[in-house]
Amino acid sequence: MEEKLKQLKAILGEVSDINNAIALLDWDQQVNMPPGGVEARGYQIATLSNLAHVKFTSDEVGKLLDEFQPLAEQLDPDSDDARLLRVTKREYDKQTRVPSELVIEFAQVTSVAHNAWQEAREKNDFASFAPYLEKIFALRRRYADLFAPYDHVYDPLLDDFEPGLKTADVLAIFSELRTQQVELLKEIASRPQVDDSFLRQPYDEQKQWDFGVEVISKMGYDWKRGRQDHSAHPFTTNFDIDDVRITTRILPDYAASAFFSTVHEAGHAMYEQGISKALRRTPLAGGASLAVHESQSRMWENLIGRSLPFWEHFYPRLRELFPAQLGNVDLQTFYKGINKVEPSLIRTEADEATYNLHVMVRLELEIAVLENRLQVKDLPEAWNEKMRDYLGITPPNDSEGVLQDVHWSGGSIGYFPTYALGNLISVQLWECILQDIPDVNAQIRRGEFGELLNWLREKIHRHGAKFEPQELVQRVTGTKIDPAPYLRYLRTKYGEIYNL
């Protein structure tokens, strides 16, 4: 049986290699590739996607998994091998429902759609992108229907990013969040607004880059196993545990954007760099889910990177780099400025108190299109209407509205809820960190992150995808994903900033 387990792991390693090659091609498309290469890149990614799919769904893999069922029941249920067999069987059962033709078509359409989205956003031309998006939604419906009967058409898509979670679970969580976050926004709006004008002026782009690099180096991002580049939309990708790359986007007239994007992506990357090397080249060599992944990036970006102890350490250095912009701005003013609550157009720049509402807009629109209650061509108007309802603002154009996110062009429908769920998990974990490392804020104030990163490595990172998200969260915190800690956090933090 040991020999057959080696045989299975060898096949899974080859599938992992192919998928990592696809990720490399995708990274290159977003960072380096000339626009003219888009059609050829679509074919390349489609070919490799099909190769990975065919190899993973082969009869050989199915036969090995069937033979391993008695063995799996004898193993320690938390062992690497037991979890590998369980996760592989689950993914095999899903992928064997998907025909190769759909895999190829989806890869081709989304590869071309990415460049179409970039061009449409630059030209504020949703109509030029709409035909691609219609194809993508149609392909996602076809994919979901392969898993019928389901409770909701969105369930199979959500499950790809959040294993085991149902649409009804997400909607219930969001319902509780929405009411209390809207109430908090109204209270904040009744108070005098804080000043962040010092952030909205010219900042040298190279110095922005250098400061971000300096900070994430201290946090623990390993440059021997990573690098940073520019892209239209910041992202993290990995081709192995020892090759995890990030990108950022620098805005010359808004210093906060690049910094918090860099810290956010470094949070994702440090998760991937912390996965046990025993799991490499297997389906376990990745995050537990997108929400758990997002908990790491949002923790570093917000709970740490927007905290007062953090800036008590780093603010003198930032003022040194930008004396003209920050020389007359004291620490408290700066801290309040980077935590200003104000409804805004762009999700990636949104403050903590409004961010989840951006996610709800996208989730509800995705569901409406999948249920055929909304046509793709009508998305801009529906988008603007929901932005007015939830945030009280209307995008002046589609580039700052429905076209702002890259995810739909890549076919990532079912993805957006993970952003808000990640916020919730981050605070649940942070409450545990405060118990286990009582002086963590004092350490952050000194610019020391080693014990904090080691805690995350031990509790979250090293396990990779061994545990489903709800199971992992419950193991660490004692409860499943719960909005209550996050709502307490918002109320406490912004109560102090706005004197509520």
The domain boundary, picked from 109, 132, 155, lies at: 132
- Does any domain span residue 143? no
- Does any domain span residue 158? no
Catalytic, out of 91, 162, 265, 352: 265
Cis, bond preceding 131 (omega within 30 deg of 0): no
Same domain, 110 and 236: no
> What local confidence, expressed as pLDDT, does residue 2 receive?
84
Same domain, 199 and 56: no
pLDDT in tens, 76-94: 999 999 999 999 999 999 9
- Does any domain span residue 106? yes
pLDDT in tens, 431-444: 999 999 999 999 99
Q: What percent of the chain has pLDDT over 90?
A: 93
Same domain, 323 and 469: yes
Mean pLDDT, residues 157-162 taken together: 95
Q: Give the CATH number, domain containing residue 175.
A: 1.10.1370.30
- Residue 473 host element (H or E): helix 469-477
Give the span between the Cα atoms of 246 and 135, in whole angstroms: 29
Same domain, 420 and 475: yes
Give the structural domain span for 76. 2-132
Q: What percent of the chain has pLDDT over 70?
A: 100
Work out the pLDDT band at 63, boundaries 50, 70, 90. Answer: very high
> What local confidence, expressed as pLDDT, does residue 1 receive?
74
Same domain, 33 and 178: no
Q: Which of 236, 238, 300, 229 is nearest to 275 (CA)?
A: 238
pLDDT at 232 over 90: no
- How remote is the C-alpha of 60 from its chain's centroid? 34
> What local confidence, expressed as pLDDT, does residue 348 receive?
83
Q: Which of 72, 57, 322, 100 is nearest to 211 (CA)?
A: 322
Phi, psi of 89, deg, nearest 5: -65, -40
- Does any domain span residue 21? yes
Does 142 or 255 have the greater pLDDT score? 142
Same domain, 470 and 387: yes
Work out the pLDDT band at 400, boundaries 50, 70, 90. Answer: very high
- The per-residue pLDDT of the chain, averaged, comes to 95
pLDDT at 481 over 80: yes
- Does any domain span residue 433? yes
Give the span between the Cα atoms of 66 and 247, in whole angstroms: 41
The domain boundary, picked from 132, 156, 183, lies at: 132
Give the span between the Cα atoms of 195 and 197, in whole angstroms: 6
- Does any domain span residue 110? yes
pLDDT at 72 over 80: no
pLDDT in tens, 114-155: 989 999 999 999 999 999 999 999 999 999 999 999 999 999
pLDDT in tens, 148-159: 999 999 999 999
- Does any domain span residue 161? no
Instruction: Please tell me the total count of domains within the chain.
Output: 2
> What local confidence, expressed as pLDDT, does residue 349 receive?
83
3-state DSSP assignment of residue 284: coil
Mean pLDDT, residues 177-204 taken together: 94
Work out the pLDDT band at 241, boundaries 50, 70, 90. Answer: very high
Same domain, 173 and 128: no
Work out the pLDDT band at 73, boundaries 50, 70, 90. Answer: confident
Same domain, 102 and 225: no
Tell me how far apart the terminal alpha carbons of the chain are, to the nearest angstrom: 64
> What local confidence, expressed as pLDDT, does residue 217 receive?
98
- Does any domain span residue 421? yes
- 14 in catalytic set: no
> What local confidence, expressed as pLDDT, does residue 207 receive?
97
Token readout for 347 is 């999700």
Same domain, 105 and 228: no
pLDDT at 271 over 80: yes
pLDDT in tens, 304-321: 999 999 999 999 999 999
Mean pLDDT, residues 470-490 taken together: 95
Same domain, 68 and 181: no
pLDDT in tens, 317-342: 999 999 999 999 999 999 999 999 99
Give the span between the Cα atoms of 80 and 139, in whole angstroms: 34
Helix ranges (H only) for 322-396 are 323-326, 331-338, 352-370, 379-391
